[in-house]
Amino acid sequence: MKKELRVRPIKNGTVIDHIAAGQALNVLKILGIIGQTDAVISAVTNVPSQAMGTKDIVKVEGRELAPHEVDKIALIAPSATINIVREYKVKEKHKVALPSVIEGLVRCANPNCISNTNEPVISKFTVNKREKGVQLRCVYCERVISENIVEHLL
Ligand code: CTP
Ligand code: ZN
C-alpha cells in the first residue's frame, strides 16, 4: 500500500500522536520547546486520521519525554498518544494522563491572586475532569478556569 509520508520516521525520540487538530503548536508551548530551541522537532497539523477525522502530530528527535512532562498536554490534547521510538521502532506507547495538580504552567485569572503578585508564589491548580472538559481550580484563591486554558498558559 502506498503511504504518503508527510514527515519521515524518526530514529530515536518521542512522537506525540493523535493530538486534537490544530493544537500542535500549543503542545510545543506546554512542553516548553517553542521560541529559541536546540531541539529537532517536526510538527504536522490537520492531517487525516481514521479515528479523529483530522489530527496533529509532533515529533521530538533525540529526546524521550518523561510522562510527567507529557501529561500536561492532556489539558489541551486529552486523546494524545505518546510513542517512544528507539532505532526506528515504537518501543513504548501510552496515552497521556491528566495530572491531578499542575504547577507553574497556567496563570490564575484572578489579578489579585497571590500567585500574580510580586510574592515568590508559583501558580498551582487542582485539575478536575468534567463532562464539558477540564476545570482548573486555583489552590490559593479558588478561582476556576474552565475554558480556553491555552490562553492562560504562562
Ligand atoms: N513513528 C515515527 N518514527 C518511527 C516510528 C513511528 O515517526 N520510527 C510515528 C508514526 O508515524 C506514528 C507514530 O509514530 O505517527 C506511532 O507509530 P505506530 O505505532 O507505528 O503507528 P500506529 O500503529 O498507526 O499507531 P496507533 O495505533 O497509536 O494509531
Ligand atoms: Zn488564584
Mind listing the pLDDT tens digit for each residue in 77-99? 889 999 999 999 999 999 999 99
Residues 120 and 77 in one domain: no
pLDDT of residue 93: 96
Residues 66 and 84 in one domain: yes
Ligand 1 pocket test, candidate residues 1, 15, 82, most atoms within 8 A of CB: 15
pLDDT of residue 5: 66
| 123 located within any domain | yes
| 67 located within any domain | yes
Can you tell me which atom of ligand 1 is nearest the CA of 88? 8
Q: Kindly report the average pLDDT of the chain as a whole number.
A: 91
Which tens digits make up the pLDDT trace of 113-122?
A: 999 999 999 9
pTM: 0.86
pLDDT of residue 147: 83
**Taking a C-beta distance cutoff of 8 angstroms, is the pair 86, 12 a contact?**
yes
* CATH number, domain containing residue 127: 2.30.30.20
Q: How far is the CA of 116 from the centre of ligand 2 (A)?
A: 8
Ligand 1 pocket test, candidate residues 55, 90, 95, most atoms within 8 A of CB: 90
Please choose, from the candidates 60, 80, 83, 84, the residue with its C-alpha nearest in 3D space to the C-alpha of residue 71: 80
Give bridge partners of residue 8 from the DSSP assignment. Answer: none
Which tens digits make up the pLDDT trace of 14-41?
A: 999 999 999 999 999 888 887 788 889 9
Three-state SS for 93? strand
Task: Categorize the per-residue pLDDT at 69 as very low, low, confident or very high, splitting at 50, 70 and 90.
Answer: confident
| 39 located within any domain | yes
Q: Which ligand is nearest to the CA of 124?
A: 2
Residues 107 and 88 in one domain: no
